[in-house]
Amino acid sequence: MQQHTEHRAQDSSARADIGLPPRPYGLRVVEHLPESLGDDVLFCVSHGPAPTGTDPRYVQVQLDALRGPAVELWTSPTPVRHGVDQNIRFAENGQVLFGQIHLNEAQLADIDREVFHTYALLDGFLQRHGYPAWLRVWNFMAQIHAQAREGDADQERYRQFVLGRYKALALKPGFERELPAATAIGTHGDGLTIYFLAARTPGTQIENPRQVSAFHYPREYGPKSPSFSRAMYLPWADGPELLVSGTASVVGHRTLHTGHPARQLDETLANIDSLLQQATAPQGLADARLWQPQQIKLYLRDPQLLDAVWPQIERAFPPAVAVTALHGDVCRSDLSLEIEALYRYTGARA
């Protein structure tokens, strides 16, 4: 086993709330991919190098890591069972389930149709295994801005992905009230990788008053609106967590500061701050300043921007927090960067 430089999500100082479920996972981010996974590992996410072996808990994201730890180890305090079901690789511990599926380029000849069938397959899988509540989803698709076929802007691969996902999720009545936090990033690899976290009971969907909810975007952004929430609030006994979706320089539904990465980063951070406010008083918490980042991922369209924006990142987040910078295409071509995050609340309830 290789030695790791690792960052652990910090322990919460909040008192345990009687009646709330215990937090069913932990997260460590490390520099190197382990040669094998321990029995307590739910999932191992590698940005860059492909894992060896057939363990279904390994997932590869075809993005180059520019700075920071590139491997995530999601661990479990309780026994883990893992396997493969209908090409879905998964691991579960009785409270949460991680899963993944990969579609190669040949399967993406009709993206709308294939994504519809894949999301419907995943939802049926979760229902069957007893984890019907989607909490967090990551979508990584090659050539995200390329045309799926000749035609107008609606034939962009990303818009076709959004259309297929919508059709699948819309099969459930009231689906817009139960949307997961999500990320969709373009890779320079092959096909489409989807990995996800689900639970037996739902979290609370959080929206941002500075932004139009993604599922209410106007027609100009595609035939259907993106189906995700801005963040997901999870009230664990040892302290609530907030899973923040991929967040960028969008106010209302418009991209701001095109061509100005530093200003886009400031706007992105303002959107994250707004989400933290929405996850505080409305959820019975006392002070938004007590939300502490546990993990930050920065996606950059142009890797040469890293040195220019990194001082802003260092000012925005404490030195102890693991920040991973990745080379990936944000879903709108006029956005230079995007941030996703995991926060934990470190105070008592109001």
CA 277, 278, 282, 284 torsion-angle sign: negative
Please give the single-letter amino acid code of residue 265: L
323 burial level (CB within 10 Å; 0-12, 13-18, 19+): buried
Q: Would you call 224 helix, strand, or coil by DSSP?
A: coil
Q: What angle do CA 324, 144, 259 make, to 5 degrees?
A: 65
188 Cβ contact list (under 8 Å, min separation 6): 62, 63, 64, 142, 327
DSSP 294-339: EEEEEEESSGGGHHHHHHHHHHHS-TTSEEEEEE-EESSTT--EEE
Which positions are annotated as active-site residues?
Answer: 338
How far apart are alpha carbons 166 and 224 in whole angstroms? 7
Tokens found for residue 101 = 């599926």
